[in-house]
Amino acid sequence: MPDALSALVHRTSFTWWDVVDILLVAILIYEALKLIRGTRAVQMAASSGILVLLFVASTTMPLQTVNWLIRNMVGYVVFAAIVLFQSDIRRGMAHFGRAPFLRVLTRPETGNETIEEVVVAASTLAGRRQGAIVVIEREIGLRNYIESGIPLDAQVTYDLLVSIFQPTAPLHDGAVIIQEGRIAAASCFLPLTVQPAISRELGTRHRAAIGLTEENDAVAVIVSEESGLISIALDGTIERGLGPADLRARLKDLVVRRRTTAGAPSRVRA
């Protein structure tokens, strides 16, 4: 390690490729830090930094036992990190998969008509205090969750959504997933969040919506049967108490305008 640092310091040639190399590493480190900010992975990163410092110290000082211990436990630490932080790793891979240069591979998303139907259905169900959860797929596919439910492949209409979430309907227990402007499936099972800071007021539907959006970029609309409030879950967070106008504006901003901006970079979003 000291020899490598010494060779790097005394290196005389410096090219543009070195600049590109440094910039790429800086960008990767910056994105990784943004990704783990506010998550459990921060503690893991701090522990890894301490281990690296101990390893460097053990190579420069006569700390043979510490050096042997770190070298032998690194492999086990890596496997333990993969198991403990698998959700954070999935979210990280999904984050990098949403890079601008990969948007050409994405599929068409939901339009204004679909959003209007979802807003009317959510308002109707909220007025009746009937619980519901409607998930709108964006760039990251939801095939695994669609396959857990009952396939429909139906046009999105507010009366169909309201019918699905009737308490006596066989498909009301679960989520409806909208994919490419159509109802792909109903009664879908979603993963529950494990965040300890979630309010106790939030029920299973809200926790399932938060858990799903922690792993991908989908938008989930939730109607509470206890309070009749309409909420939106996105990126592991939740916005509660939205009215029809607020819900319409948020969905258009998150889905329709987002797609338009990605497809036409020369435009400036209002």
pLDDT number for residue 103: 47
Is residue 215 within 8 Å of residue 128, measured between CB atoms?
no
The pLDDT tens digits for 215-226 are 888 999 999 988
The first and second tokens of residue 190, run together, are 């979603």
Buried b (16+ CB within 10 A) or exposed e, 136-146: bbbbeebeebb
Q: Residue 53, SS3? A: helix
Say which residues have a Cβ less than 8 Å from residue 156's Cβ, sequence separation at least 6.
113, 114, 117, 118, 178, 181, 182, 183
Quote the pTM value. 0.60
| CATH architecture for the domain at 112-263 | 3-Layer(aba) Sandwich (3.40)
DSSP H/E element including 132: strand 132-136
- Each domain of the chain, given as residue ranges in start order, spans 2-97, 112-263
| Nearest-angstrom CA–CA distance, 153 and 180 | 10
The pLDDT tens digits for 157-197 are 999 999 999 988 888 888 999 998 899 999 999 988 877 77
Mean pLDDT of 58-86: 76
